[in-house]
Amino acid sequence: MDGQRWLPLEANPDVMNQFLCQLGMLPAWQFVDVYGMDPELLSMVPKPVCAVLLLFPVTEKYELFRREEETKIKAEGQVVSPSVYFMKQTIGNACGTIGLIHAVGNNQAHLEFKSDSPLKKFLVETANMSPEEKAAFLEKDESIRVTHESSAQEGQTEAPSIDEKVELHFIAFVNVGRQLTELDGRKPFPIVHGETSEDTFLEDAIEVCKTFMARDPQELRFTVVALSKV
């Protein structure tokens, strides 16, 4: 990712909801904080949930796991639903926006958009593109870039400089064809984590988030948000 670099997006539901609103998504579904992973705190998250975003630190332990996971899947194979909307990340620090696109792109049957929505237009125009072609298309999409830049300035913490190395990364979890699917623009393909359902999706996604945390038990820099019907 030596080309474009964007300011990183904060893992803040208010920022994310404003971002999606500016791109023409109607607010019937909104991002909310997931304050903890025990059943009592998960029960506070409005249901249904159609996507979960995880912000986590990219550490040496994680990078080792990522390489091993890729090698294993290439050797053993996996069945990914042809309906999954997946794109690569070629823009530095754009993982927040790509996480949002993955969350929205895989839930268009649930979500509603304004007739002139730049995000809906992007999803329609890229629907049949390869993950790499989608990434190249995003590099040229001024509506999304400008909205990302303004949203990145809106968080509660001061935005880092555009050249600062950011060690945190966003990924999305969605339910496509009753499969719990992880979408990470740094990976070559989606990762299927088994079966799920609309009723159990949040809990199933959280179980996978817990494995990320268990890999780096000394780390505290994890944030989870859910796209809920409000």
Query: DSSP string of 46-103?
Result: -S-EEEEEEEEE--HHHHHHHHHHHHHHHHH-----TT-------SBT-HHHHHHHHH
**CA atoms of 185 and 199, how far apart (whole Å):** 27
Question: Is the residue at 198 inside a domain?
Answer: yes
- What pLDDT shows up at residue 158? 52
Question: Is the residue at 8 inside a domain?
Answer: no
pLDDT confidence tier of residue 160, bands split at 50, 70 and 90? very low
CATH code, 75: 3.40.532.10
DSSP state, residue 38: S
* pLDDT of 155 higher than 90: no
Question: Is the residue at 211 inside a domain?
Answer: yes
pLDDT tens readout for residues 185-216: 999 999 999 999 999 999 999 999 999 999 99
The model scores a pTM over 0.75: yes
Average pLDDT over residues 170-176: 98
Question: Is the residue at 7 inside a domain?
Answer: no
What amino acid positions are annotated as catalytic residues? 95, 169
* pLDDT of 24 higher than 70: yes
- What pLDDT shows up at residue 71? 98
pLDDT tens readout for residues 133-153: 999 999 999 999 999 988 888
pLDDT tens readout for residues 41-93: 999 999 999 999 999 999 999 999 999 999 999 999 999 999 999 999 999 99
By residue range, what is the domain housing residue 167? 13-229
Average pLDDT over residues 152-168: 61
- With vertex at residue 122, the alpha carbon angle to CA 12 and CA 133, rounded to the nearest 5 degrees, is 105
CB atoms within 10 A of CB 174: 26
Cβ atoms of 181 and 191 within 8 Å: the answer is: yes
Total domains in the chain come to 1
Question: Is the residue at 192 inside a domain?
Answer: yes
Q: To the nearest whole number, what is the mean pLDDT of the chain? A: 93
Question: Is the residue at 2 inside a domain?
Answer: no
Question: Is the residue at 1 inside a domain?
Answer: no
- What pLDDT shows up at residue 166? 55
Question: Is the residue at 5 inside a domain?
Answer: no
